[in-house]
Chains A and B, each alone.
Chain A
Amino acid sequence: MLTVSHLSKHFHDQPVLRDISLRLAEGEVLAVLGRSGCGKTTLLKILAGLETPDTGTLTLHGQDLLPVPPNERQMVYLYQEPLLFPHLTVFENVAFGLRIRKVKEAEIKRQVTELLAELELSEHAQKAPHQLSGGQRQRVSFGRALIIRPRLLLLDEPFGNLDAQTRAAMQELFGCVSRQHGITSIFVTHDSREALTVGSRLGYLERGVLTSFATVAEFIQDPRTNIAAELSFWENIQRTANLSVAE
């Protein structure tokens, strides 16, 4: 479905992305793990059409995406912050994509009401964004993207600003909604646990080079993901705790 071939990008002679290639099938969620400044945001922005690559090709269902402007790609880019429209209610924020497509009022009402119920936001429909919690705002942002049935959802550390509990709840919600709607997405994160929770496929981006993993085991074993080291750390803690109990 989505094919990225030999994508490269420089900013002021500084390479940000180097020869990135990937393929993503319909309904897959590619979780890309990477530290700050590794090129994650640039990759997503190029896919969304907000940046242009220096070299490489992008195709979606065989269609060359490079000449297609962002507003015609049907690929929604979600920022780390929800960035809701401050002058619109929750209902109108979610309805935005339908209104600009001049969908009939009755249809807008039906679709938005259904989606708000699915995202457990029905009781907040008439609230302003500033009246919502961080998790609720992120759900509205998610709903605003989902309503236009994007061909590809690009998520740039969307739950990075949430507390651990809300973050876990949002990851679960994302997984449920993704499966239910068959959403294809690229989910960028710096949290290996989040990558493992949401991703059906896994990748690691470092200094502009993307490594794709065929299996979860490969991802865990790669020392750059730090998962093996973390597992060993917790095992040591557990062992020490057991020993002190035994003594």
Chain B
Amino acid sequence: MASLPVHGNARNTDGDRGLRAWWSRSERKVVPYVFISPFYILFIVFSVGPLVYALYLSLHRWPGTGPMRHVGLGNYTYLAGDPVFLKSLWNTVYYAVGAFLFILPLALVLALLINSTLIRIKSLFRIGYFLPILTSTVAATIMFLLIFNNEFGLINQGLASLGIPALKWLDEELVKISVLAVVTWRYTGINVLYFLTGLQSIPPELYEAAQVDGAGTWAQFRYITLPQLRPIALFVGVVTMIGSFQLFAEPMLLANGGPNDASLTIANYLYRMGFTNAKLGYGSAIGWVLALIIFGLSFIQLYLFGAFRKED
């Protein structure tokens, strides 16, 4: 489609023929670079460039227009003592730890049950748990406005009908739990699928051999299932951590980051600084700190799970 067959065009001029001859010799050398170039052009323009520019901006004070003022590491030192940033950092860590404590064990238990011989109708659960991930974070969070509303939320209505006083799900004390509930609702099912993939890739011979040796259910789980799940657990762990540190829509829509910044994440604070308050330098510094945290934690997880160890 892009070029016609080279041979058999007797009407060509000499120069044209030379060009065609060159192309027929070089096409296979040049073409792969042409095919992959859109990615690298877009990557350089829209990722590498902004990454470097973010570092540059983070060393300046700039409201988005007019001249920039160089402040050295001023934004970073200010960040270290900014109570709202530290609060958002704490909240984000809270969400990440909560995701590890709620979502991953729940997903693992559900996957183990679905995978066990006890359960026959597997796909109902597999697919049922999976459906929430199809919703957008916006639609999902909106749904939960009806669940957690302090006055007419479904949970409080349910508690009231049992004669239990209402809890303020969106107030400072509980709002982080509510955010975690939305996150758990949306992401448990996909992690069930990840764990199921891992469970199904365990060679059945391992269990057969263990049974021959007289290993009980618990021993099989402890010494076969868990170690064999390590690669998938590493994947799930890294994905969960990276996702948790970039939470944005759930706290924003459920409680607007509040009350009193109690649900605010790092990403929410970055947005507030960069877009609402037009502190582009400060916002960029937050972005770089976030990147360093994510890189650091990914590295630690890979290290702990021995991904760097030479095996096999």
Check if A and B associate: no
Enumerate chain B interface residues (CB-CB to A < 8 A).
none
